[in-house]
Amino acid sequence: MKRSDRILDRLFRAAAGPTPTSEMPFGFDTRVLALARESSPNGSAIIARFAQRAAMIALAIIALATAGLYRTSISNNDLPTEYAMADTAIQNDLGE
């Protein structure tokens, strides 16, 4: 195993020598810029993303409002009977 290890190390050392030059291919930058522009989000995609966010916010507001209404209705049911009776009496008096 040690022999294989030594061979491997020497092979790596030899292979790690000077690497081929990394010269940019002709027209590479033009192609990259064209592709980046092509695939960047366009106007309709931006509007769609905005609409999606607006819908999420609207849903959150609806959920909060529903929760608030539910809480109010529960707290109204909890009102003592005396208050309800007084309320009815006042309404009757006013009616007369």
Partner 1 sequence: MDDDEHVRTLVDRARQGDDDAARELIRQLYPVVAKIVRGYRARRVAEEDLSQMIFVKVFQNLGQYSGKAPISHWVSRIAVNTCRNQLASEKARPELRHADLSDEQTAMLENLAASDETLAPDRSLAARDLVDKLLGMLKPVERLVIDMLYLQARSVAEVQKLTGWSAATVKIRAFRARQKLRKQIGGLL
Could you list the residues that contact partner 1 (CB under 8 A)? 1, 3-8, 10-20, 22, 24-25, 28-33, 35-36, 39-40
Nearer to partner 1, 30 or 77 (CB): 30
Nearest to partner 1 of 31, 53 (CB atom): 31
* Residue keyed to tokens 């966010």: 53
State which residue, 33 or 56, has the beta carbon closest to partner 1. 33
Closest by CA position to 61, among listed 88, 53, 3, 14: 53
DSSP the chain: -HHHHHHHHHHHHHHTSPPPP-PPPTTHHHHHHHHHHHHS--HHHHHHHHHHHHHHHHHHHHHHHHHHHHHHHHHHHTS-HHHHHHHHHHHHHHH-
Least distance between partner 1 and beta carbon 20 (Å): 8
Q: Residue 43 Cβ, how far from partner 1 at the closest point, in Å?
A: 15
User: Cβ 26 to partner 1, closest distance in Å?
Assistant: 11
Of residues 27 and 95, the one with the C-beta less far from partner 1: 27
